[in-house]
Structure 1
Amino acid sequence: MEEVDLEGFCSYLEDSFPDLKEKGVIIGFDARAHPPSGGSSKRFATLAATVFISRQVPVYLFCDITPTPFVPFTVSHIGLCAGIMVTASHNPKQDNGYKVYWNNGAQIIPPHDKGISVAIEKCLEPWSKSWDTEEAMRSPLLRDPYQDIYKKYFSAVQKLCFHREINQKSKVKIVHTSVHGVGHTFVQSAFTAFDLQPPFAVQEQKHPDPEFPTVKYPNPEEGEGVLTLSFSLADEIGATVVLANDPDADRLAVAEKQENGSWRVFSGNELGALLGWWVFQCWKKQQKAEQLKETVKDVYMLASTVSSKILRAIAIKEGFHFEETLTGFKWMGNRGKELLEQGKTVLFAFEEAIGYMCSPAVLDKDGVSAAAITGEFTSYLATQNITLSQQLKAIYEEYGYHITKNSYFICHDQNTIHQLFERLRTFRGPNTYPQECGGISVIAVRDLTTGFDSNHPNNKAVLPTSKNSQMITFTFANGGVATMRTSGTEPKIKYYTELCAAPGNSDLTQLKAELDNLVEAIVEDFFQPKINNLIPRPE
């Protein structure tokens, strides 16, 4: 984060909001630090505040570390023009960055992202007072919203609790790790707000530590490698469920002890199925039976286009609406806000990268509230002698199995990436895509780089397109769907595959074998010509 970046952003806000100097902005930060450079998330947040204060813009700056969800919550709760969260989320320890939120409480999308970039290009000279942090920290324009937002956030979280009596009596033991990030205090408070016994903390990872000394990658999405200490503690105390946040606590991973003593780490899609089903059941029980058929018509759930379509299957049977958006919570947050303004009920949104929005109070993924909801869900199931794994199986048996398999290749060569995707667009000549893969017919293609979608009139895509990123989705005759795309933050080519079966098809072994064969064919047919320049995902 550089001063010229924030100066450009500030200039753009000045042009966009005539009342910027009345309303102001919120700035939060995580616990990252870079001793060699003297930098830290807190230092960057202070510099950002200084830039805005130098332009007489009120700044709400948290006095201490907070989870990322606190920033969009504050934008919406106070009614501010924008928010900044200084964080590198789950990236390696040497990284840092920041997320930007618009006045609607969601991350920025076009045209604001491009408008900010243009404004930054026009502000290449630092403003005279944008480095005077001492004066800025004494300014009456600087306010600390920590205590107020802390209370208001957990007051909002309490509204997501539907089984308080069960929670109060629950004997379920749950382990939680914040993976050296900010999550510990806030997840403890979320459990308290639900009247749940606080989860057992992994002591070695409980306190923020920017060195992340016990893990190779501070990303619970990587699974068992990050959760080793959690499993050890859980086995020691007899806990059956493990919860893990990433360092800025906007994501949540969940694992459960199996009967054979092993641990099952739920994929982001599996947890999306569990939480989506649970949130809907909780909502449904609050409705009057005679009005349900009408009220459910205004209910919406969202998921990113590379995430499982299990919510679509549930929506078709239960009568609510399901929509998919582009990858990233910025799209789900903004679409959620649009629906809310239309008087709709947005119950849930998720992305396969363990991100979950369980309340419109935060129009972004929120690992803190999701942790408490998972705690209540687990406690409720325990009263029925049902495990999370058993409930997931029941969901798939009722709505149809949705088996997913995702991975990625690392590639640092942009030419290789370009050639790989262009080959798929000229498979049998100009403007032709593969017609089959592994002997399975391709029945539809959507290319959100070029705007092509064979499922729509004139072959024009409905979802927004971008020539700056690569993304192609293939739909197969056997019910399989595969998406290949480039990462926006890492040198990766990711692929996402799913096989959707109709309810009643419970031959899971056959379905998994069929998906494995499809993935092998995709890697061989679509990736193989460039495989020498690609590095497989590390195990």
Structure 2
Amino acid sequence: MHIEQNILDKVNEWLTPTFDSQTQEEIKEMITTSPKNLEESFFKNLEFGTGGMRGVMGVGTNRINKYTLGKNTQGLSNYMIKSFSGEQLKVAIAYDCRHNSNTLAKVVADVFSANGIHVYLFSDMRPTPELSFALKYLNCHAGIVLTASHNPPEYNGYKVYWQDGGQLVPPQDGEIIEVIEGLNYSEIKFEANENLIEYIDVAVDEAFAKSTIENASFNTPLAAKENLKIVYTSLHGTSIKAIPGVLAKAGYTDVNIVAEQEVPNGDFPTVKSPNPEEPEALSMAIALSDKIGGDIVIGTDPDSDRLGVAVRDTDGKMVLLNGNQTMVIMTAFLLEQWKRAGKLDGKQFIGSTIVSTPMMLELASGYNVECKVGLTGFKWIAKFIKDFPELKFIGGGEESFGYMVGDAVRDKDAVAACLLVCEIAAQAKAAGSTLYKELLNLYVDFGFYKEHLISLTKKGISGMQEINQMMIDLRENPMIEINGQRVVCIEDYENSTSRNMFTEEIESISIPKSNVLIYYLEDGSKICARPSGTEPKIKFYFSVNTPLDAVEKAKEVEKQLDEKIKNIIAEMQLS
């Protein structure tokens, strides 16, 4: 097959003595046996996306390996040395259960230390939110987590956090990327200064647990906690290092762990995908819950920043809540707790994203607080906390099963969210209600909002081209009517414009640029198209809503909303 010259130039660079013999041998093997794989490994450089950098592990510029991560770390080191001139620089590093995460974390630690930067390296795998906490707790300048979240086993990744405990945002991200891209691989300092590498574990664990319990506990009686039957699965991930201990310290005694998924394992052998967004991922936990009569099922992804929740519906059947539903339940509970405590004075806010449920705006209005809406990714919610110090952050989340309670951790945090959702469930059960009934009551108060996500996987060069073309078509040939409803407005975040489809009036959008399109229909429905920033996917988000007069009508109304979503998907030819 023909390979472009620019790709061959990269390949030849990786065959020089700058790269170790094993790397060179693997490349030579690909040249003779798998030129297509060679092309995929070198056709571009791995890029920072919504949640940092993720990719398949292997050799090449488009793969996760010691050289691509080493180059990132060298660039970050150079940037920090320039930005914090004269300071004793400190970084914290954590990693998850994935293959090579521990060895890649040590490579990253080596490069930092070789540049004179003090490294706090966790001695074993830890949840991602603990890294965000540790960074602030240890007064570090930056932090790194080696993780690919819920991606398949062949993936790994590299997430960068800044002084505030949040992930990189503008302008630092662009400035750091520019430094990285200006480096040659020969400039990476791999020779560690072991005196600058300090291993951390129990002391930080205890501080993290204490902080979590303080932030996510709300005066739930001990008897109510003991009466809640919890089924929990770590899906072979890192949350096993934190969640059981936090729940026990908080007073929850009836926690039933799915034994088959308890041991961390980067192959994730019992699931097709270790993603709590996928109903199949929690099937073993739900089966255990049905066996023992559980009240609530909780599962977390490999690095423990997302959680899936299943609860019993009005018929007693376990149903998986989506990320929008758990976000709404937790936010409404927090707002009510703040209100009862007399702490709402107009100087608070909740956070959400442009692809999440509009119901968050209704909640904010109902409690007279502001809802700040940003791009996908918790780094934007963390940026709101940093940019508006005069406002107190209550909580917030996004549709992709992530939530953040307060500002002790500046990223989505399944550890705190797990405790919070147990608090809500325990209090509801003690009051003769359920988590599901509490959700239905919210729909009566604020409107029944129903969301749905379609995620289309398009791998490789051809897949990237196909995704690009889909976005071009949606922009250049916009739909005028969908499911009998006129399109009233199209927001294009790449061009920072909001276009009124009736008057053709165009207004500017102040949110940072991103490759996202949102269609708004005249009945209040919302359709969003967004290529993933971390996976070879394009995602379509659907939100529909209608009033709900009474809880008893919930099933009937939900069927109507499901049918509306089904019709929209069919008309857009996405089914």
Q: Distance in 1 between matches of 2:86 and 2:520?
A: 48
2:255 to 199, 204, 208: 199
Aligned residue in 1 for 2:112: 52
| Aligned residues of 2:225 and 2:423 also touching (Cα < 8 A) | no
Query: What whole-Å deviation, never above 9, does each CA across 1:488-538 have from its counterpart, x for those lacking one?
Result: 122222111112334648755665455445544544454x4xx6xxxx6xx
Q: Distance in 1 between matches of 2:235 and 2:520?
A: 37
Is the aligned partner of 1:217 residue 2:273? yes
Q: Distance in 1 between matches of 2:560 and 2:310?
A: 26
Identity %: 29
Is the aligned partner of 1:115 residue 2:175? yes
2:233 to 177, 181, 202: 177
2:127 to 63, 67, 73: 67
1:43 to 83, 98, 103: 103
Tell which deviates more after alignment, 116-125 or 206-215.
Answer: 116-125
Is the aligned partner of 1:396 residue 2:455? no
Aligned residue in 1 for 2:96: 30
Per the normalisation by structure 1, the TM-score is 0.88
The residue correspondences of 1:327-476 to structure 2 (distance < 5 A) are 327-339=376-388, 341-342=389-390, 344-412=391-459, 413-427=463-477, 433-454=478-499, 458-466=506-514, 469=515, 471-476=516-521
> 3-state SS of the aligned residue for 2:76?
helix
1:132 to 180, 191, 203: 191
| Aligned residues of 1:184 and 1:201 also touching (Cα < 8 A) | no
> 3-state SS of the aligned residue for 1:101?
strand
| Aligned residues of 2:455 and 2:538 also touching (Cα < 8 A) | yes
> 3-state SS of the aligned residue for 1:421?
helix
Q: Distance in 2 between matches of 1:355 and 1:167?
A: 29
Aligned residue in 2 for 1:5: 72
Q: Distance in 2 between matches of 1:164 and 1:512?
A: 31
Q: Distance in 1 between matches of 2:565 and 2:464?
A: 24
| Aligned residues of 1:167 and 1:195 also touching (Cα < 8 A) | no
> 3-state SS of the aligned residue for 1:159?
helix
> 3-state SS of the aligned residue for 1:149?
helix
User: Quick one: which amino acid aligns to residue 98 of structure 2?
Assistant: R
Is the aligned partner of 1:18 residue 2:18? no
Q: C-alpha displacement at 1:474, in angstroms? A: 0.9
Q: C-alpha displacement at 1:400, in angstroms? A: 1.3
Q: C-alpha displacement at 1:260, in angstroms? A: 4.1
Q: Distance in 2 between matches of 1:312 and 1:177?
A: 32
Aligned residue in 2 for 1:308: 357
Aligned residue in 2 for 1:241: 296
Structure 1, unaligned stretches of length 5 or more?
34-39, 428-432
> 3-state SS of the aligned residue for 1:69?
helix
> 3-state SS of the aligned residue for 1:280?
helix
Q: C-alpha displacement at 1:145, in angstroms? A: 3.0
| Aligned residues of 2:243 and 2:415 also touching (Cα < 8 A) | yes
Aligned residue in 2 for 1:88: 148
> 3-state SS of the aligned residue for 1:144?
strand
Query: What whole-Å deviation, never above 9, does each CA across 1:202-253 have from its counterpart, x for those lacking one?
Result: 1111111111111111111101x11122122222222121110111111111
Q: C-alpha displacement at 1:6, in angstroms? A: 1.2
> 3-state SS of the aligned residue for 2:221?
helix
Q: CA RMSD in A?
A: 2.2
User: Quick one: which amino acid aligns to residue 115 of structure 2?
Assistant: R
> 3-state SS of the aligned residue for 2:479?
coil
Q: C-alpha displacement at 1:321, in angstroms? A: 1.0
| Aligned residues of 2:127 and 2:241 also touching (Cα < 8 A) | no
| Aligned residues of 2:222 and 2:251 also touching (Cα < 8 A) | no
Q: Distance in 1 between matches of 2:82 and 2:448?
A: 50
The residue correspondences of 1:258-337 to structure 2 (distance < 5 A) are 258=313, 260-287=315-342, 295-337=344-386
| Aligned residues of 1:268 and 1:353 also touching (Cα < 8 A) | yes
Q: Distance in 2 between matches of 1:441 and 1:329?
A: 32
> Structure 1's 505 and 378: CA in aligned 2 closer, same or farther, altered over 3 A?
closer
Q: Distance in 2 between matches of 1:110 and 1:76?
A: 20
Aligned residue in 1 for 2:43: none
| Aligned residues of 1:329 and 1:364 also touching (Cα < 8 A) | yes
**Aligned positions, number:** 500
User: Quick one: which amino acid aligns to residue 461 of structure 1?
Assistant: I
> Structure 1's 441 and 259: CA in aligned 2 closer, same or farther, altered over 3 A?
closer
Query: What whole-Å deviation, never above 9, does each CA across 1:15-73 have from its counterpart, x for those lacking one?
Result: 222255x141110111111xxxxxx1111111101101111111111111110001111
| Aligned residues of 1:410 and 1:493 also touching (Cα < 8 A) | yes
| Aligned residues of 1:303 and 1:349 also touching (Cα < 8 A) | yes
Aligned residue in 1 for 2:264: 208
| Aligned residues of 2:226 and 2:254 also touching (Cα < 8 A) | no
Aligned residue in 1 for 2:207: 152
> 3-state SS of the aligned residue for 1:459?
strand
Is the aligned partner of 1:256 residue 2:303? no
Structure 2, unaligned stretches of length 5 or more?
1-63
Q: Distance in 2 between matches of 1:351 and 1:9?
A: 28
Aligned residue in 1 for 2:11: none
| Aligned residues of 2:96 and 2:125 also touching (Cα < 8 A) | yes
> Structure 1's 83 and 3: CA in aligned 2 closer, same or farther, altered over 3 A?
same
| Aligned residues of 1:452 and 1:460 also touching (Cα < 8 A) | yes
User: Quick one: which amino acid aligns to residue 364 of structure 2?
Assistant: A
Per the normalisation by structure 2, the TM-score is 0.82
Tell which deviates more after alignment, 387-396 or 148-157.
Answer: 148-157
Q: Distance in 1 between matches of 2:273 and 2:565?
A: 26
| Aligned residues of 1:3 and 1:126 also touching (Cα < 8 A) | no
User: Quick one: which amino acid aligns to residue 155 of structure 2?
Assistant: D
| Aligned residues of 2:220 and 2:427 also touching (Cα < 8 A) | no
> Structure 1's 509 and 244: CA in aligned 2 closer, same or farther, altered over 3 A?
closer
Q: Distance in 1 between matches of 2:387 and 2:138?
A: 19
Q: C-alpha displacement at 1:83, in angstroms? A: 0.5
> 3-state SS of the aligned residue for 2:291?
helix
User: Quick one: which amino acid aligns to residue 131 of structure 1?
Assistant: F
Q: Distance in 2 between matches of 1:511 and 1:258?
A: 15
> Structure 1's 517 and 241: CA in aligned 2 closer, same or farther, altered over 3 A?
closer
Q: Distance in 1 between matches of 2:152 and 2:246?
A: 27
